[in-house]
Amino acid sequence: MTNSHCNDRLAWQREGLPFNAFGAALRRRFGGRIQRVSIDAGFTCPNVDGAVARGGCNFCDNRSFSPSRRVRLKRVGEQLDGGITSVRRRYKQVAGFLAYFQPATNTYAPVDQLEEVFQMALRWHPDIVGLAIGTRPDCIPESVVDLTRKLAQDHYVSLELGMQTMHQPGLDWMNRAHNHEHLVNAIDRCRGQGFECCVHIILGIPGETHAMMMQTADEVARLGFDAIKLHNLYAVQGTPLGEEVASGKIQLMQQDTYVATVVDFLQRIPPTTIVERISGDAPPKYLIGPQWCLEKSTLKLQIETEFKRRGTRQGSHYRPPTLLPENRPRPADNTPASIRSQIDVRGRLPVLKMESRIESGSGG
Ligand code: SF4
């Protein structure tokens, strides 16, 4: 396996792809298939524990999050082993793995604990080539930027920020409990620090017009993210959104509208931005709707076909901003004090107790 970083971010165009697909980008970088292994390290979320709000986002099944959840080092290792084994069963040739810290807010713990759990994941198996860390844009104080930069000196590291939309009514409807300024502040402090910055977007938020979604696309382009994940709004059981969809109060986007909107969106995104996802889904037994998002390969084919029909590709309609993102000054950190007090701590652990060490017996 090679670990050389391929700087040619336009290679996808020569390969005839309609967009800068993540799998192909990883193959170029690492010389083979790279798979993510999802990890639940036991973090909670400031939108659940009351630091900024309670209840969480309306689409998020956060019933298992609680302030008493612990960073579970032993469980992290077990999840990595299990995930690697199951991926190897499915694919004959895998060049490496990314430990993907996915549920909850994975930078919301004392920074010492964050470092311990991330370093442990990187050391756990020789084929782990990097980390993906999902978090909220208001949970990235300078201490987290410093830690992420340090981890990225020797490994691929992607910090995934939930933006969802740039529009406040949509953020309020989802009960995100942060505003767009937190996102702008976070990316302006994280950009160009040696790790990848990936943005999560949701298409089909009730009340958002096509024009509003295109404004979000232009804002993503302006902010200079390295990568993007696009999701259709989908509903799972046990969430406020799930109840509203099941009762018919909320209609979700139709499949053909979603396909056209994804293509419209990606046409406005810089060609250098890596596209990590083009749809979202959930295990069938939890999914309330839409059912069409379960057919991922059909959806992908429809999106590719729509690009072909139009004779366009990612970035066709992108217009670089007059002031490039890298030339904008780094702002002061605007992490809320209630969140900062839980993260910017070294030497004592006020939020989460670290579970007993890996070598010890049973853990909670
Ligand atoms: S911020 Fe993320 S983890 Fe927290 S409630 Fe929302 S979706 Fe769930």
Q: Identify the structural domains of the chain with CATH numbers, from first to last.
A: 6-339 (3.20.20.70)
Residue with tokens 């070598």: 359
Q: Which residues contact 228 (CB under 8 A, 6 or more apart)?
A: 198, 199, 200, 201, 220, 269, 273, 274, 275, 276
CA–CA dist 19, 80 (Å, integer) = 30
The predicted-structure confidence for 76-133, as pLDDT tens digits, reads as follows 899 999 999 999 999 989 999 999 999 999 999 999 999 999 999 999 999 999 999 9
How far is Cα 224 from Cα 196, in angstroms, rounded to an integer?
11
Alpha-carbon distance values, 120 to 73, 97, 128, 194 (Å): 8, 14, 11, 20
Instruction: Give the number of the atom of ligand 1 that is nearest the alpha carbon of residue 103.
Output: 3
- Residue 243 Cα to ligand 1 middle (Å): 18
pLDDT < 70 stretches in the chain: 1-7, 66-71, 347-364
Question: Is residue 104 in contact with ligand 1, taking CB distance under 6 Å?
Answer: yes
What per-residue confidence (pLDDT) applies to 310?
98
CA of 182 to the centre of ligand 1 (A): 15
Residue 299: partners with Cβ closer than 8 Å, 6 or more residues away: 255, 258, 259, 278, 279, 292, 293
Whose CA is closest to 99, among 61, 140, 60, 155? Answer: 155
What's the pLDDT at 327? 85
Q: Is 83 in the pocket of ligand 1 (CB under 6 A)?
A: no
Place of tokens 């990097």: 130
Mapped onto helix, strand or coil, the DSSP state of residue 264 is: helix
Could you tell me if the CB of 105 is within 6 A of ligand 1?
yes
Best residue for ligand 1 mutational test, from 48, 64, 172 (most atoms within 8 Å of Cβ): 48
pLDDT for res 65 = 74
Cβ(223) – ligand 1 distance below 6 Å: no
CB of 182 within 6 A of ligand 1: the answer is no
Query: Closest Cα partner for 271 from 44, 59, 7, 13?
Result: 13
Q: Which two tokens stand for residue 274?
A: 């890596």
pLDDT confidence of residue 351 = 46
- Which residue puts its alpha carbon closest to atom 5 of ligand 1? 56
Radius of gyration over every alpha carbon of the chain, rounded to an integer in angstroms: 20
Ligand 1 centroid to residue 139 C-alpha, Å: 11
Q: What is the pLDDT of residue 324?
A: 84
Q: Which of 44, 49, 57 to mutate to test the pocket of ligand 1 (most atoms within 8 A of CB)?
A: 57
Q: What local confidence, expressed as pLDDT, does residue 218 receive?
A: 97
**What six digits make up the tokens of 50?**
């009351």
